[in-house]
Structure 1
Amino acid sequence: MKNEMQVSAGILIVGLGGNNGVTLLAGQLANKHGLEWETLTGRVSANWFGCLTQIPSRGVHGGVGYQGRIKGLASASSAAIGGWDIRPTPLGQALYECRVLEPDLVRQVREEMDCTEIMKGFGIRPSSESPSTTLQPMYDIRTWKEKNSVDGHITVIWSASVERPSEAVYSTPDELLDAIHDDSNGDDISPSMLYAAAAALEGCSFVNGGSQNTLSPAMNALFDEAYRRDASGVSPKCALSKFAPYSTNKAYCLGTDYKAGQTKFKTAAVEYLRALGLTPRVIASSNHLGNNDMLNLTTKKTLNAKMRVKSDIFGPWQEENLDHKVSVMYCPYIGDEKRDFVEYTSLGFLGSPHTMVTYTRCMDSILCVPLMVDAAIWCDYFVNNNVSAGDAAKATAYLFKVPEGDAKGVDPGFF
């Protein structure tokens, strides 16, 4: 019999002290304690709105919401949440400083959040650092799981700022592991790749919430439990042996970049236009916000990574001659509030133009956190039900701007 204190799933966030991490943790505490707080429009009670795995179904035919419809979906309110950050700022203080949630709610969760442990993260690895230090996340995951009595599946989520793309190419998981183990920073191994590899070796799923190219055929192959199982007991010189002990448990590698705000609605809008039989010709969009992630996009290499995933969202539809333009702007005053403007022009009956415009504004973290929750809960459910990596990737493709790995080429429409 399971210990009553044990939780059903674990969520580890790389960048726990960032806006997404502290918003997720505050939301969980609000739901766990049944909190209420005052807003400009009235009193609000805690909820999981936006999390398809956490809200009950509604509507004549079941509609949205899977809680209660699918037996075995974990409750996010009872999940263990932890993670890493390169900053030591207490999480309650970080929540206060990010100005995402209402002050009355922040006041109620701040003290408890300040007591939450932050594991020491890392950015670019110094060339003098040893491989054992580099894969400290393996040890962190193992000890965190034991300390929090996590008896379900753990998902590691990259929620730190967008990295510059890695220029290294590895054709096999052995090449990738050798490069990680022997790296002197010449192989261009990014921090997200190290966290992803550590997750795989600990039997945890990894979700790339950023737009950098963490996922690759070699990385995906590392998550194949058959690879880790079949390599056991082979030559002591094999790449895997350098990281023993490691797990052979099933785990998934998902991404890339959450389809949270403008891109999600843009996909749904174009899906609507296509459903009408119209032919999209121009999609011109701009979005601006002032959080740290947008600040990071002022660097050309990281901006290129973001532009890749934003521009490729319609790829599988093969809409010829579609002129899709995207611009992003860093506006510090706006903070975490994301604002976007999009104009859609299509050709209708007899080639006549059809144009519509959308304007959206919402806190970026409010848009992203439900996707982080759903990704982790789905991973836990799929592992418990022995769902194949391919099916899990296809089922969660709706969460990402550019579904990669086994989800590559999946219809990008939300519905």
Structure 2
Amino acid sequence: MGPGECPSLGGNDLWMGKRAVMALFYCFFPPGWLAGAAPVPMMGMGMPRPSGIPQAQNASRDGCPCPMLQLSAMEATADFVVESPDVVYGPDTIEAQYEYRTACVSREGNVLKVYPTSTRFTFRTARQVPRLGVMLVGWGGNNGSTLTAAVLANRLRLSWPTRTGRKEANYYGSLTQAGTVSLGLDAEGQEVFVPFSSLLPMVAPDDLVFDGWDISSLNLAEAMRRAQVLDWGLQEQLWPHLEALRPRPSVYIPEFIAANQSVRADNLILGTRAQQLEQIRRDIRDFRSSAGLDKVIVLWTANTERFCEVVPGLNDTAENLLRTIQLGLEVSPSTLFAVASILEGCAFLNGSPQNTLVPGALELARQRRVFVGGDDFKSGQTKVKSVLVDFLIGSGLKVRGLGGCTAQEWGGGGLDPKHQACGRGACVPWGLQLPRGPLFPQTMSIVSYNHLGNNDGQNLSAPPQFRSKEVSKSSVVDDMVQSNPVLYRPGEEPDHCVVIKYVPYVGDSKRALDEYTSELMLGGTNTLVLHNTCEDSLLAAPIMLDLVLLTELCQRVSFCTDTDPEPQGFHSVLSLLSFLFKAPLVPPGSPVVNALFRQRSCIENILRACVGLPPQNHMLLEHKMERPGLKRVGPVVATCPVPCKRGAAPTAPNGCTGDANGLSQADTPQMPTT
């Protein structure tokens, strides 16, 4: 699909294969997520216009003045007011009446009966933005030092030379800072976009105050240099600002992380588990007081830990978990930080894959009405996976893999242990053909391989820590598979194999290789193979930023319904953050959603509800009617339809209008320039 073509119009050319995959990246990733791509407004189908492609000019056909479809420019100002009797802007709050429409389904015999329902909500959002502090566990790691450096670079408006030109500080990759939302249509029927952060009052990222803990005593400048993430010219400018920042001592329990991390552990909180818990709480109180903060949010961005077994009487309830800490029994460092944060009334967010938020911690959070969220930042490879699998299954294609990981990746294993009972060949040596039949159904798989050379990769080289990561990565496709019973029978699912290797040379620049094979009609197959070079910490840092800003915003939102007029807030397990986590935590009994587009729509539509705007449904019925009949504000210019196609391909200097394969140059997809 060329930049002048539009998938929303009937004909010409089927929209499949390479062009569809390209469009996916435009549709699902917020502007600025693609490295080097400037944040741009979005087309009607959610696709940004590639830079360098001019907007279509007014044209005419058969004497009829007919404006070509144009890309709506983002409004120069982010300020807007919703003019509605259902929205009241008070000095302290924004109050909005909102009609929440959904449907209930019941089964009667062989018939599904659907009952549309409607509930009237009243949302109240406090307008006063607090002075917010962020405490990072693992502040001196790659993610912590990169996020701190990014905020400082933006606050100081830094720029620096590189071999490809001069770069300026920005927040690319952040949904709240580089994403946009559509407010609606203007008088000409074009969508109007504003920055995501303008929907509701949010903390400005430049105003954040940072502190934190780390088992390494390096100051933030030394940690930045050790991480080798940022360009040298930027490091030199940031050095004097970061040199004075030094992490507080942290908790080190060797059996929870890889043995290779012991060389870093020179900055420790000593004492019993109860004494360590109390010291963390004192640190939080000291930071809040000394920095003059209204709120503090604690975020775990330290090493991946091994899973902690959930044991009745040990960590299954809040009471048992607190007693376990007092008795000095098994509790992970991350759970200690979570409990300390909750007891201090601070939201806690888990950016690693281990089960930090054991049932006892979740119960404690609910008792104290404190937000918690997790698990594991969703940045590179998994974010792509949650898009592609949704695309394949949503298009009616059944994911069927032709490979698995080698037996060596499983320690010489043979079958994946989770499938030993049923005999499914999830992870077998390459080329080994298993018999088909009741015991060996046809293999369906998604294979993900990646290698990285940062400290996270070194820690994950230990099997217990790798297992935590494998679990969080492997559940990302479950809801998409379950959504299509036409393709997958009950209990049937793709085998999902994940391999991670530590290669020091590549540093923070992780390499990811994925293969997706899907079945077409009449026995055909379609295979997608992706190679993704992920700048690990530069992808994670804006996610951490969004987590903090959205969590704080949710703390200022309350709502009630006509049937339950008592104001309440969101559930303590803040599932609204699912867009940012690989293995999102949800309240008990709630469905887990991993599909990226649905996750983003959830955030956007809840924020829209808070200002009385309808959910974004992408129907655009105004443009699909034979006779215009929907009311618009302002004068409406009559238009006639035109094909959303570019003109003839320009003639190349050699006189050729096609490429080496004889295809028109006009059909060559164009990507954003960097």
**Interval of TM-score (by shorter of Structure 1 and Structure 2):** 0.7 to 0.9
**C-alpha distance in 1 between matches for 2:191 and 2:292:** 38
Which among 285, 292, 307 is matched to residue 142 of structure 1? 285
Paired residue secondary structure (1:270) = helix
Name the residue aligned to 2:323.
178
**Residues 1:345 and 2:517 are matched in the alignment:** yes
Contact 1:403 1:409 in 2 (8 A): no
Contact 1:281 1:321 in 2 (8 A): no
**C-alpha distance in 2 between matches for 1:385 and 1:379:** 10
Paired residue secondary structure (1:368) = helix
**Distance change (3 Å), C-alpha of 1:180 and 1:62:** farther
> Which residue identity does 2:274 align to in structure 1?
P
Name the residue aligned to 1:396.
577
**C-alpha distance in 2 between matches for 1:20 and 1:329:** 19
Name the residue aligned to 1:96.
225
**Distance change (3 Å), C-alpha of 1:127 and 1:10:** closer
Unpaired stretches in structure 2, ≥5 consecutive residues: 1-128, 183-189, 255-268, 402-445, 483-487, 559-567, 598-674
Give 1:290 deviation, angstroms. Answer: 0.5
Contact 1:67 1:73 in 2 (8 A): yes
**Residues 1:410 and 2:592 are matched in the alignment:** yes
Per-residue deviation, residues 164-220 of structure 1 (Å, max 9, x unmatched): 11124322111111111221xxx3200000000001001111111111111122211
Give 1:358 deviation, angstroms. Answer: 1.1
Contact 2:181 2:196 in 1 (8 A): no
Paired residue secondary structure (1:354) = strand
Which among 320, 335, 338 is matched to residue 196 of structure 1? 338
Name the residue aligned to 2:174.
51
Give 1:391 deviation, angstroms. Answer: 8.3
Paired residue secondary structure (1:406) = coil
Contact 1:314 1:412 in 2 (8 A): yes
Contact 1:52 1:65 in 2 (8 A): no
**C-alpha distance in 1 between matches for 2:493 and 2:140:** 42
Contact 1:53 1:73 in 2 (8 A): no
**C-alpha distance in 2 between matches for 1:119 and 1:128:** 15
**C-alpha distance in 2 between matches for 1:267 and 1:27:** 27
**C-alpha distance in 2 between matches for 1:374 and 1:64:** 17
Paired residue secondary structure (2:131) = coil
Paired residue secondary structure (1:67) = helix
Give 1:132 deviation, angstroms. Answer: 2.7
Contact 2:130 2:203 in 1 (8 A): no
Name the residue aligned to 1:78.
207
> Which residue identity does 1:165 align to in structure 2?
F
Name the residue aligned to 1:276.
395
Paired residue secondary structure (2:400) = strand
Contact 1:345 1:353 in 2 (8 A): yes
Name the residue aligned to 2:26.
none
Give 1:41 deviation, angstroms. Answer: 1.4
Name the residue aligned to 1:325.
497
> Which residue identity does 2:279 align to in structure 1?
Q
**Residues 1:14 and 2:195 are matched in the alignment:** no
In terms of mean alpha carbon deviation, does 214-223 or 14-23 score higher?
A: 214-223
**Distance change (3 Å), C-alpha of 1:19 and 1:130:** closer
Paired residue secondary structure (2:167) = strand
**Residues 1:122 and 2:251 are matched in the alignment:** yes
Name the residue aligned to 2:463.
300
Give 1:399 deviation, angstroms. Answer: 1.0
Percent identity of the aligned residues?
35
Per-residue deviation, residues 362-383 of structure 1 (Å, max 9, x unmatched): 2110111111111111110000
TM-score by length of 1: 0.87
Contact 2:342 2:364 in 1 (8 A): yes
Paired residue secondary structure (2:180) = coil
Give 1:117 deviation, angstroms. Answer: 3.5
Give 1:55 deviation, angstroms. Answer: 2.8
**C-alpha distance in 1 between matches for 2:319 and 2:545:** 32
Paired residue secondary structure (1:223) = helix
Q: What is the count of residue pairs matched by the alignment?
A: 382
**C-alpha distance in 2 between matches for 1:390 and 1:277:** 35
Paired residue secondary structure (2:309) = coil
In terms of mean alpha carbon deviation, does 396-405 or 196-205 score higher?
A: 396-405
> Which residue identity does 2:543 align to in structure 1?
L
1:231-250 equivalences in 2 (<5 Å): 250=369
Name the residue aligned to 1:314.
477
**Residues 1:161 and 2:161 are matched in the alignment:** no
> Which residue identity does 1:182 align to in structure 2?
L
**Distance change (3 Å), C-alpha of 1:164 and 1:34:** same
Per-residue deviation, residues 114-173 of structure 1 (Å, max 9, x unmatched): 11142111211899626133331111001101111112x322111111111112432211
> Which residue identity does 2:466 align to in structure 1?
L
Give 1:315 deviation, angstroms. Answer: 2.1
Contact 2:447 2:514 in 1 (8 A): yes
Paired residue secondary structure (2:196) = coil
**C-alpha distance in 2 between matches for 1:369 and 1:64:** 23
> Which residue identity does 1:412 align to in structure 2?
N
**C-alpha distance in 2 between matches for 1:103 and 1:13:** 24
**Distance change (3 Å), C-alpha of 1:64 and 1:397:** farther
TM-score by length of 2: 0.54
**C-alpha distance in 1 between matches for 2:179 and 2:307:** 39
Per-residue deviation, residues 225-264 of structure 1 (Å, max 9, x unmatched): xx24xxxxxxxxxxxxxxxxxxxxx421111111111011
**Distance change (3 Å), C-alpha of 1:254 and 1:350:** same
Higher normalized helix content (fraction of residues): 1
For the aligned residue pairs, the C-alpha RMSD in angstroms reads 2.1
Contact 1:158 1:208 in 2 (8 A): yes
Give 1:56 deviation, angstroms. Answer: 5.7
Which among 352, 357, 372 is matched to residue 215 of structure 1? 357
